[in-house]
Structure 1
Amino acid sequence: MKIRIFMGGLVLALSTFTLNGDKVSAEELTVATFIPPQHHINKNLFGWFGKEIAKRSGGSLTMKLFPSGQLGAGPVQQYKRVVEGVADITFGVSAYTAAIFPKTMLTIPPGKSTTAKESTDRLWRVFDKYMADEYKQVKALGVFTVAGSLVASTKDISTMKGLKGTKLVPYAAMTTPIIKAMGAVPVQMPVTKMYTGLSTGTIDATYASYNNITPPWNFWDVSKYVVGNIPVQFAATYVAMNKERYDGLSAAHRKIIDDLSGKTMSDQGSATFDGADRRSEAMMKKSPKMKKLSWVQVSSAERAKMDAAVKKGLEAIFADYSKRGIKNAREIYNALNQ
């Protein structure tokens, strides 16, 4: 039995292996992300996935990770890359191809959830009924969220007055009516450009997770304020597999993928995001870097005004969905927030 070792991969690849009495050809799956190697999604989520498929297959199914856009630069094309087979598996952000995932996007506006776990749990309660058809071009391995519970900014936006005219990056363009109702000016920008946007003044503020403030994103280097107690937005993310690549695997290998997919991988993803936020929050409380920033909380009175703006913005979002032929957007949003 031949063994090849990939220094950039996570596991060993075996030429052939006998699994449950059946001879199975060795398979190595390519995984493409746009995030840096040290990002927790690469280390934790795909670290877990790589170990699990190797263990469950006896080493005949492995993966090799290509971080930082090594199989194609930029996060916007991640879905196209997996559909076209540039990579076997990709990690992407739904908002970057919003037209493909309009119903999934309804997880993004503020609602009852405050953490990635809460939001992801609610998503999967209704996924099969409302959203599964958006993933017909691929094998959906996981769909999960990250909580944008902070705003990183170069000005104090903890009041509606402070928000007025602020160039603010939301988690998705579809929340534009909410941002406008708050008095801010929505600016669309991928997370990979936000550091530069804050440092150059292209934007004044951006929705952020705790992990965005600290490494590897380091928004604390280019911000003057970190604002909490805001209406929480969520970024919807996915892990997708090329459908032909999945169909071409052996039945034994497909079963391993199936057993790790859906809510199982999504729980791992949301836990990875929440865990990173907890670590970053603890780091922020201790780091001398935070002494250069003002960490402020929106007051109850101002939060009530922001929540009212959210409700107003949601009505505009539902009306826009209806014009685009999605008549049940309100129903989906309400189901996500039961």
Structure 2
Amino acid sequence: MLKKLLSAGLVAAGMLAVAAPAGAQDVTLKLHQLLPLKAAIPDKFINPWIERVQTQSGGRIKVEHYPSMQLGGKPPELAQQVTDGAVDIIWTVMGYTPGRFPRAEAFELPFMVATAEETSVAFQKYADKHMQNDFPGMQVLAVHTHGPGLIHSKAPVSSLEDLKGMKLRGPTRVITGMLEQLGAVAIGMPVPAVPEAVSKGVIDGAVIPWEVTLPLKMAELVGNHTGFEGDRGLYTATFLFAMNKARYDALPDDLKKVIDDNSGVEAARLAGRAMDEVDKIGMAKAQQAGNTIITLDAAETARWKEAATPVVDGWIAEMDGKGMDGAGMVMDARDLVAAETK
């Protein structure tokens, strides 16, 4: 009798062992992005995000992280790669695909940005309101921004006049347009191309946040860094962290919940916080190098804001011409940032 009970128990246990994996679907997701692993977002946002998702799924979700465009293509192709399902998740710069995310550009306008954390939360709330239809084929995990963008240049920029004729890299069409309006010669290029362009004299400097100066070694390439008085920086860029929609839809409900629990405002907050943390390190690195850090006073900052006003007006008119409420989007963006900075 004991033999029969043991035998039955072993058979039942065997059946459970076979049945469990069938019910517990395992998923491997390929995540593709343009930055090296030691950059702020991969190191302090994407990798911790991967760890949380893998842990909270009980190991049923595995995320393979491919940095520095290791799966091929160029940074502007990332949005299409995830839409087509060539990869499962991407992190990218929205402005690398001009015209694809026009509503996001409200946050790239001059002197919109506060800290990265505050602005990222505001941007996520803005996207939830204004950009619901802007991501066909994607499940948005988070949108965010970097912190206040500065001018990093070989020659010092202490006034608006110093900018005239200076060749500066800009990341997106709105920001290159702003630089042109302010008197610079703006050259658009993805951020990985900046060090070589500076070294070869193709550009005289770049507009980037402090955190990006670290992987680019900008403190070694230029000697001057110019920021602005007050709680708003010159500009920011917008970023997208997204999953292929069909891949997301195919997940069982419990794994969708894991993804959902690591999406939205709190994910945007963490991405922004990562940027802010490394901004401090980037600034300290420039100080240690003995570089000149310039903060334009309130009067000079006001001159730059006035000079940049046509960029805002032009963007509003352009959006109105496309049937969007340009002024309303700018007002919402400003109000949302202001609400986060109280």
Q: Give the alignment's TM-score, normalised by structure 1.
A: 0.87
Q: Which has the larger radius of gyration?
A: 2
Query: Distance between the aligned counterparts of 1:51 and 1:221, measured in 2?
Result: 34
Tell me what 1:294 maps to: 292
Q: Residues 49, 274 of structure 1: CA spacing in aligned structure 2 closer, same or farther, 3 A cutoff? A: same
Report deviation, 1:158: 2.3
Question: Does 1:170 find its partner at 2:167?
Answer: no
- For residue 261 of structure 1, the aligned residue among 251, 255, 263 is 263
Tell me what 2:244 maps to: 242
**Corresponding letter in the other structure for 1:138:** M
Q: How many residues align?
A: 316
Structure 1 residues 173-182 or 219-228, which shifts more?
173-182
CA contact (8 A) 1:114 1:149 kept: no
CA contact (8 A) 1:147 1:232 kept: no
- For residue 286 of structure 2, the aligned residue among 284, 287, 291 is 284
Tell me what 1:336 maps to: 333
Report deviation, 1:23: 2.0
User: What are the superposed Cα offsets for residues 209-252 of structure 1, whole Å, 9 maximum, x if unpaired?
Assistant: 111222x1211221131112174211100111011111111111
**Corresponding letter in the other structure for 1:46:** I
Please state whether the residue corresponding to 2:133 is helix, strand or coil. Answer: helix
Please state whether the residue corresponding to 1:32 is helix, strand or coil. Answer: strand
- For residue 317 of structure 2, the aligned residue among 312, 316, 319 is 319
- For residue 273 of structure 2, the aligned residue among 248, 254, 271 is 271
Report deviation, 1:337: 0.4
Please state whether the residue corresponding to 1:76 is helix, strand or coil. Answer: helix
> 1:187-226 maps to which residues of 2 (within 5 A)?
187-214=187-214, 216-226=215-225
**Corresponding letter in the other structure for 1:257:** I
CA contact (8 A) 1:40 1:276 kept: yes
Report deviation, 1:134: 0.8
Larger helix proportion of the pair: 2
Query: Distance between the aligned counterparts of 1:40 and 1:210, measured in 2?
Result: 11
Larger strand proportion of the pair: 1
User: What are the superposed Cα offsets for residues 130-160 of structure 1, whole Å, 9 maximum, x if unpaired?
Assistant: 1121113200011000024321111222211
Please state whether the residue corresponding to 2:99 is helix, strand or coil. Answer: helix
Please state whether the residue corresponding to 1:278 is helix, strand or coil. Answer: helix
Tell me what 2:79 maps to: 79
User: What are the superposed Cα offsets for residues 78-134 of structure 1, whole Å, 9 maximum, x if unpaired?
Assistant: 111111222110110000012110001211112343211121122233222211211
Q: What stretches of structure 2 of length at least 5 have no aligned partner? A: 1-16, 336-342
> 1:225-236 maps to which residues of 2 (within 5 A)?
225-229=224-228, 231-236=233-238
Q: What stretches of structure 1 of length at least 5 have no aligned partner? A: 1-14
Q: Residues 175, 68 of structure 1: CA spacing in aligned structure 2 closer, same or farther, 3 A cutoff? A: closer
Q: Give the alignment's TM-score, normalised by structure 2.
A: 0.86
Please state whether the residue corresponding to 1:103 is helix, strand or coil. Answer: helix
CA contact (8 A) 2:109 2:311 kept: no
CA RMSD, 1 decimal: 2.1
**Corresponding letter in the other structure for 2:255:** H
